[in-house]
């Protein structure tokens, strides 16, 4: 082999350029490989809320046999948002009355119907090893950008699948982002007709309504049964507790879900503002799916965000 000094200068230059290019290429490949791994890992840590099951394994929709209106509404919502629903037949009046007589349940017939309907969902999760599921109520309306809002909310959640996620909610909470500032302004201005006070209220309302979707840890959640998500561990616990609750007292599903979130052994989050609301609650939705489809006559963009704010909104 010729010593390096004997190699013509042009060949030396060519070798130097080739060597440098090779190092740069290898470095680029290495960084590209590293970036690909990083992207793949991070994507596994965040749910894909834009898929047909909102990032969960299933989306359950309990239906009331014979109630064609509620079935048509939830089917229309699913069609617009490309959500794959897994229907579960709800407990009928006759079945609830039989359960009450047979097991001596203290809960009312309406509460037994509701609790036993959701227990069927919990049991189905256990039987089919469904690791996570969203559960939608029978009479609901949703924001047209539901998937985007859930994606924003999951940015605040320090777990891939929390024990409970309250997606729909009809009451505000003190721990909710933006609530304290909003209530302070409403309390300070009251029903004053002063122009500056009216302007403060108008601007604060607009700011609250238009804020980015967040997830927060609830302290005392209420009105939460219209839309929530759970993991399999929570489904098992709710299945057991549902029976005991019906035997012991008349508490409804809303109370049991709140109790699970408050006892400190569940990792619970709420979505704010709630992108799913019950039709009966007359709550705010910025862009209602049912209103866009002409399946409701009232415009929910004119309502207060929560039931407990209707008097001051």
- pLDDT tens digits, one per residue of 253-278: 999 999 888 876 789 999 999 999 99
Find the mean pLDDT for residues 269-293.
96
Which of 229, 214, 225, 210 is closest to 154 using CA atoms?
214
Q: What is the pLDDT of residue 46?
A: 64
d(CA 133, CA 231): 6
Class of domain 58-309: alpha beta
Query: Quick one: pLDDT band at residue 228, thresholds 50, 70, 90?
Result: very high
**Total residues belonging to the chain:** 313
The lowest-confidence range among 73-77, 91-95, 135-139, 187-191 is 187-191
pLDDT computed for residue 262 by the predictor: 84
- ∠ Cα 157 74 298 (to 5°): 95
pLDDT digit string (tens) for 52-107?
A: 999 999 999 999 888 888 899 999 999 999 999 999 999 999 999 999 999 999 88
Of 301, 136, 296, 156, the closest CA to residue 214 belongs to: 156
DSSP 291: H
Res 260: pLDDT? 84
Q: What is the pLDDT of residue 247?
A: 85
* Each residue's pLDDT tens digit, 157-172: 977 779 999 999 999 9
pLDDT at 248: 80
| Bond into 62 cis (ω within 30) | no
Query: How does residue 36 score in pLDDT terms, banded at 50, 70 and 90?
Result: very low
Rounded Cα gap, residues 230 and 243, in angstroms? 18
In this prediction, residue 40 has a pLDDT band, given cuts at 50, 70 and 90, of very low
């Amino acid at each position: 082999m010729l010593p390096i000094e004997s190699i013509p200068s042009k060949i030396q230059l060519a070798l130097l350029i080739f060597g440098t290019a090779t190092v740069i290429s290898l470095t680029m490949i290495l960084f590209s490989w590293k970036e690909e791994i990083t992207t793949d890992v991070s994507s596994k840590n965040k749910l894909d809320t834009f898929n047909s099951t909102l990032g969960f394994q299933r989306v359950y929709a309990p239906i009331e046999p014979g109630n064609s209106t509620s079935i048509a509404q939830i089917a229309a919502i699913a069609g617009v948002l490309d959500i794959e629903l897994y229907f579960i037949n709800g407990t009928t009046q006759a079945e609830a009355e039989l359960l009450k007589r047979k097991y001596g349940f203290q809960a009312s017939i309406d509460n037994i119907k509701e609790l036993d309907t959701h227990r069927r969902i919990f049991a189905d999760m256990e039987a089919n090893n469904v690791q996570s599921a969203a559960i939608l109520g029978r009479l609901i309306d949703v924001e047209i950008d539901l998937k985007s809002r859930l994606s924003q909310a999951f940015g605040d959640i320090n777990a891939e699948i929390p024990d409970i996620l309250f997606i729909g909610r009809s009451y505000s909470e003190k721990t909710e982002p933006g609530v304290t500032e909003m209530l302070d302004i409403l309390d300070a201005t009251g029903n004053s007709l002063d122009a500056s006070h009216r302007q403060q209220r108008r601007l604060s309302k607009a700011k609250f309504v238009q804020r980015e979707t967040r997830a927060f840890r609830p302290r005392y959640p209420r009105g939460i049964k219209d839309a929530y998500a759970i993991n399999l561990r929570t489904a098992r616990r709710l299945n057991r507790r549902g029976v005991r609750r019906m035997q012991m007292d008349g508490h409804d599903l809303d109370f049991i879900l709140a109790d699970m979130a408050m006892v400190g052994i569940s990792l619970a989050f709420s979505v704010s503002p709630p992108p799913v609301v019950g039709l009966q609650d007359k709550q705010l939705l910025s862009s209602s799916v049912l209103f866009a489809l002409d399946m409701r006559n009232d415009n929910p963009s004119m309502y207060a965000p929560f039931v407990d704010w209707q008097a001051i909104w």
